[in-house]
C-alpha cells in the first residue's frame, strides 16, 4: 500500500511562477520518508498540498496533477506537526491538547480516553499527562504535539522541521518518539533539510530543488550521492561527511552514518590508539574583554538562573556558550549586554562595570543578535535594515561600505526588498550582518544558524571569521556542536545555572567527563582523531580527511 502524487504543478496565482513543477513521488505505507531541499525549493507548498490546506484553506492558486491519497476508498487523514508546537496545541493541559482533535471529530468520550492512553503509552509520555502545556520543555511540547495528532489516527503524519528549535535533549526525545512510531508502522513524512538528527530513522529521501524532484530513493542511495547532497544543501551527519571525504580519496570504506558504524569501518584502516594524540596545540589568548564577577540571578518567581558565575571572555576570540536548554546560557548573555540586571555580582567591559548604563549605551560595546529575526526586522528595505545599528549608534559609513557588505553576502540584488519577505535563513543572515556596521567590539550571536541552509551557514561562518579578523570578539550560543568545534577558540559550559567549564577548545576536546555530564556528544571528528591517535585533534572534516590520508600513506599507523 502506498500514497502517491503524480505530475503536481502549483502556482500561487495564474501569473505567478511554478512553485512546484511536475512533481511526482510515492510515500510507502509504514515508512519514514524525508523531503529535503534548500529554502524556496517548494517543501512547504508540498506539505500544504498533501495536507489539503491547498486548495481547501488557501484558495486562488492553480493546482494541476493527480493526488492518490486514499485508503480503502476514502480520503486518507493526513495530519501535520509544525515546527512551532506552541501555536498548534489547543488546551491548557496535556490531556486537553491531545483530546482537542478527537473532540472536533465527534469521537465518543470513552474512545477519546482510550486514544489518549494509547498515544501516551506509545510515545512514553504518561508522566506528562497531568502537566500544563505551558510548563513543558520544547522537546516535550513537540512530543505532545505529535501525540495530539497521532491520537486522531492519521494515515500519514507530516512533520515540518520538528526539531529546528530544540536542544540536544529535545532532539533525542523526538528521535525516541519517531522510533516508537516507526515500530508501530506509522507512515511519516519528515520535511526538513537537516538529516543530521534523523538519519538512522529515515527509510527514503525525496530531494526537491526549485520546485522539481531531483531525487527519490533510499536513504543509503542519497548518502552515496555526494553531488546531490551539495546541490540540495542538505545538512548531513558529520559521520556521512567523513565517509564522503574518505570515499572521495578512494579509501575502501563502506557506507556509515552513525558513530558506531564509523568506528567499525575505520578500525579496519587505522590502529586504535586512544589517548595518544601527538600534539595538543597550545592556545594563547589575549586579556579578557568581558568579565563577570560572582554573578547571581534570582528571578521574580524565585528561580535561580545563574549561580556565582565568574567568566573571562578573551579579547578577539570566538567563544561558545554551551549547555542544554535551561542551563542559563541566554540568562548569562543577557547580563553581558545589560538586558538583565544581576541580583548580585557584576559584569565588566574592559574592567569597567556596565551597571547604570542602558542597553542601548552598552550596545556600543557589546551587541546581542537574537535568534528569531522577526523580533529584529522592521525597516522597509534590506538596505535600511543593514544600517540600523550604525544609524542608532551614529557610526559614520558610506554607501560603498553598505554595498560591499550586501555584495559579499549575496544580498545586493535584494537591497530594496522588504526584509520580512526574505527566506528565514537570509533574514537571520541580515540581522547578523547589521552588526557589522556598529561600534560594538563584542558581538553575541544567539543560535546563529537557525533556519539557515548549508550555503547561508557557510556565509555565516565567514562572517564570524571576518569579525575575528577585524579584531572583534564573538560570543556564540549554539546547540550545533560540530559547528562550535569548527568555529570557536574558547568555551564556557553551563549546567543547571552553574559554570562547569571555562577554557580553550583544545582542552575541552579531551574532557569527556564534561560532555558526559551535560549529555552531549563530542563531534565525531574529535572523537575519531583521538581514537586513532592522529597528529592533532581534528575539528573539521577536511582536516580529518587530510590527517587520515597522511596516516594511510604511512601505512595505517598513526
Q: Which of residues 416-435 bind another protein (CB under 8 A)?
A: 420, 434-435
| Residue 358 interacting with another protein (CB under 8 A) | yes
280, 355, 360, 550: which one contacts another protein (CB under 8 A)? 360
Convert residues 35-54 into a mask of x (bound to another protein by CB under 8 A) and - (unbound).
Answer: ----------------xxx-
Cell digits of residue 307: 549561580
Task: Please say which residue, 195 or 290, places its beta carbon nearer to another protein.
Answer: 290
Which span (192-200, 211-219, 311-319, 352-360) binds another protein, by CB under 8 A? 352-360
Nearest distance, CB of residue 341 and another protein, angstroms: 11
Helix (H) or strand (E) holding 36: strand 32-36
Under rule CB under 8 A, which residues in 458-487 are in contact with another protein?
Answer: none
Least distance from C-beta 366 to another protein, angstroms? 9
Our CB check for another protein shows the closer of 379 and 502 to be 379
| Beta carbon of residue 412, minimum distance to another protein (angstroms, whole number) | 22
User: Which is nearer to another protein, 383 or 545 (by Cβ)?
Assistant: 383
Q: What is the 3-state secondary structure (H, E, C) of 249-315?
A: CCCCCCCCCCHHHHHHHHCCCCCCCCCCCCECCCCCCCCEEEEEEEEEEECCCCCEEEEEEEEEEEC
* Dist CA 211 CA 20 (whole Å): 4
CB distance 524 to 532 below 8 Å: no
Query: Which DSSP state fits 23?
Result: E
User: What is the rounded end-to-end Cα distance, in angstroms, of the chain?
Assistant: 51
The DSSP H or E segment spanning 475 is strand 473-477
Query: What is residue 92's three-state secondary structure?
Result: coil
Separation between Cα atoms, residue 54 and residue 63, nearest integer Å: 8
Contact between 59 and 235 under an 8 Å Cβ cutoff? The reply is no
Neighbours of 183 (CB within 10 A): 9
- Give residues 60-99 in contact with another protein (rule: CB under 8 A): 79-80, 82, 84, 86-93, 95-96, 99
Tell me, residue by residue from 482 to 521, as one string, x for binding to another protein by CB under 8 A and - for no binding.
----------------------------------------
In whole angstroms, the minimum distance from the beta carbon of 208 to another protein comes to 20
- Is residue 186 part of the contact set for another protein (CB under 8 A)? no
Size of the site for another protein (CB under 8 A): 67
Applying CB under 8 A, among 2, 105, 407, 458 the residue interacting with another protein is 105
Q: Which of 337, 473, 538, 540 binds another protein (CB under 8 A)?
A: 337
Stretch of 117-125, 186-194, 221-229, 362-370 lying at the interface with another protein (CB under 8 A)? 362-370
Q: Assign residue 37 a region: left if phi > 0, alpha if psi is -120 to 50, beta otherwise?
A: left
Q: Which region, judged by CB under 8 A, interacts with another protein, from 1-9, 106-114, 211-219, 522-530?
A: 106-114
Determine if 355 is a binding residue for another protein (CB under 8 A).
no
DSSP-derived secondary structure letter, 243: H
* Exposure letters 420-456 (e unless 16+ CB within 10 A, then b): eebebbbbbbbbbbbbbbbebbbbbbbbbbbbbbbeb
Minimum Å gap between C-beta 443 and another protein is 11
**DSSP string covering 494-517:** EETTEEEEEEEHHHHTT-HHHHHH
Q: Choose among 481, 153, 502, 459: nearest CA to 308.
A: 502
Sheet holding 288-298, edge to edge: 304-314, 288-298, 344-349, 352-353
183 Cβ contact partners less than 8 Å away, ≥ 6 residues apart: none
Residue 359 within binding range of another protein, rule CB under 8 A? yes
Q: For another protein, which residue of 141, 204, 334, 527 counts as binding (CB under 8 A)? A: 334
Cell numbers at 25, concatenated:
513521488
Q: Which of helix, strand or coil describes residue 313? A: strand
Selected from 11, 140, 142, 148, the binder of another protein by CB under 8 A is 148
Closest contact distance (angstroms) between CB of 139 and another protein is 19
Which run of H or E residues covers position 346?
A: strand 344-349
Piece in contact with another protein (CB under 8 A), picked from 279-287, 306-314, 367-375, 475-483 = 367-375
The footprint of another protein (CB under 8 A) covers 51-53, 56-57, 79-80, 82, 84, 86-93, 95-96, 99-109, 112-113, 116, 132, 134-135, 148-149, 152, 300, 334, 337, 339, 358-361, 363-364, 367-370, 372, 374-378, 388-389, 392-393, 420, 434-435, 438
Amino acid at each position: 500500500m502506498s500514497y502517491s502524487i503524480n505530475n503536481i504543478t502549483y502556482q500561487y496565482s495564474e501569473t505567478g511562477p511554478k512553485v512546484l513543477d511536475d512533481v511526482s513521488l510515492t510515500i510507502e505505507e509504514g515508512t519514514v520518508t524525508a523531503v529535503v531541499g534548500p529554502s524556496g525549493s517548494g517543501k512547504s507548498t508540498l506539505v500544504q498540498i498533501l495536507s489539503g490546506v491547498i486548495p481547501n484553506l488557501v484558495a486562488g492558486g492553480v493546482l494541476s496533477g493527480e493526488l492518490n491519497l486514499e485508503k480503502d476508498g476514502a480520503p486518507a487523514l493526513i495530519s501535520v506537526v509544525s515546527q512551532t508546537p506552541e501555536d498548534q496545541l489547543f488546551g491548557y493541559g496535556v490531556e486537553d491538547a491531545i483530546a482537542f482533535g478527537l473532540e472536533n471529530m465527534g469521537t465518543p468520550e470513552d474512545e477519546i480516553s482510550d486514544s489518549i492512553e494509547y498515544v501516551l503509552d506509545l510515545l512514553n509520555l504518561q508522566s506528562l499527562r497531568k502537566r500544563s502545556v505551558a510548563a513543558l520543555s520544547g522537546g516535550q511540547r513537540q512530543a505532545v504535539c505529535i501525540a495530539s495528532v497521532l491520537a486522531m489516527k492519521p494515515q500519514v503524519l507530516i512533520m515540518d522541521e520538528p526539531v529546528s528549535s530544540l536542544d540536544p535533549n529535545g532532539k533525542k526525545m523526538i528521535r525516541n518518539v519517531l522510533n516508537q512510531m516507526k515500530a508501530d508502522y506509522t507512515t511519516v513524512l519528515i520535511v526538513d533539510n537537516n538529516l543530521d538528527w534523523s538519519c538512522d530513522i529515515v527509510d527514503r529521501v525525496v530531494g526537491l530543488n526549485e520546485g522539481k524532484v531531483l531525487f527519490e530513493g533510499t536513504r543509503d542511495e542519497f548518502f552515496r550521492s555526494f553531488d546531490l547532497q551539495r546541490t540540495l544543501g542538505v545538512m548531513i551527519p558529520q559521520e556521512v561527511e567523513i565517509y564522503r571525504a574518505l570515499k572521495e580519496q578512494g579509501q575502501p570504506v563502506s557506507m556509515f552514518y552513525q558513530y558506531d558504524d564509523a568506528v567499525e569501518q575505520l578500525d579496519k584502516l587505522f590502529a586504535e590508539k586512544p589517548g595518544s594524540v601527538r600534539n595538543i596545540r597550545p592556545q594563547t589568548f589575549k586579556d579578557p574583554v568581558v568579565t563577570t564577577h560572582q554573578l547571581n540571578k534570582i528571578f521574580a518567581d524565585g528561580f535561580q538562573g545563574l549561580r556565582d558565575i565568574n567568566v573571562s571572555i578573551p579579547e578577539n576570540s570566538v567563544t561558545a556558550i554551551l549547555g542544554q536548554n535551561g542551563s542559563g546560557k541566554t540568562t548569562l548573555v543577557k547580563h553581558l549586554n545589560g538586558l538583565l540586571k544581576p541580583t548580585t555580582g557584576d559584569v565588566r567591559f574592559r574592567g569597567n562595570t556596565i551597571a547604570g548604563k542602558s542597553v542601548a549605551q552598552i550596545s556600543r560595546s557589546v551587541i546581542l543578535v537574537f535568534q528569531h529575526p522577526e523580533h529584529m526586522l522592521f525597516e522597509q528595505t534590506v538596505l535600511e535594515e543593514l544600517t540600523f545599528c550604525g544609524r542608532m549608534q551614529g557610526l559614520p559609513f558610506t554607501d560603498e561600505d553598505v554595498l560591499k557588505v550586501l555584495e559579499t553576502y549575496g544580498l545586493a540584488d535584494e537591497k530594496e526588498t522588504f526584509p520580512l519577505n526574505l527566506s528565514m535563513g537570509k533574514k537571520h543572515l541580515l540581522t547578523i550582518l547589521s552588526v557589522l556596521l556598529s561600534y560594538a567590539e563584542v558581538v553575541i550571536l544567539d543560535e546563529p544558524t537557525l533556519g539557515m541552509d548549508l550555503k547561508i551557514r557557510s556565509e555565516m561562518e565567514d562572517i564570524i571569521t571576518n569579525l575575528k579578523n577585524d579584531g572583534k570578539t564573538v560570543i556564540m550560543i549554539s546547540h550545533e556542536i560540530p559547528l562550535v568545534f569548527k568555529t570557536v577558540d574558547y568555551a564556557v559550559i553551563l549546567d543547571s545555572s552553574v559554570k562547569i567549564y571555562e577554557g580553550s577548545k583544545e582542552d575541552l576536546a579531551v574532557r569527556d567527563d564534561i560532555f558526559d555530564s551535560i549529555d552531549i556528544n563530542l563531534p565525531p571528528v574529535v572523537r575519531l582523531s583521538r581514537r586513532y591517535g592522529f597528529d592533532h585533534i581534528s575539528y573539521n572534516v577536511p582536516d580529518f580527511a587530510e590527517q587520515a590520508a597522511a596516516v594511510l600513506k604511512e601505512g595505517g599507523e598513526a
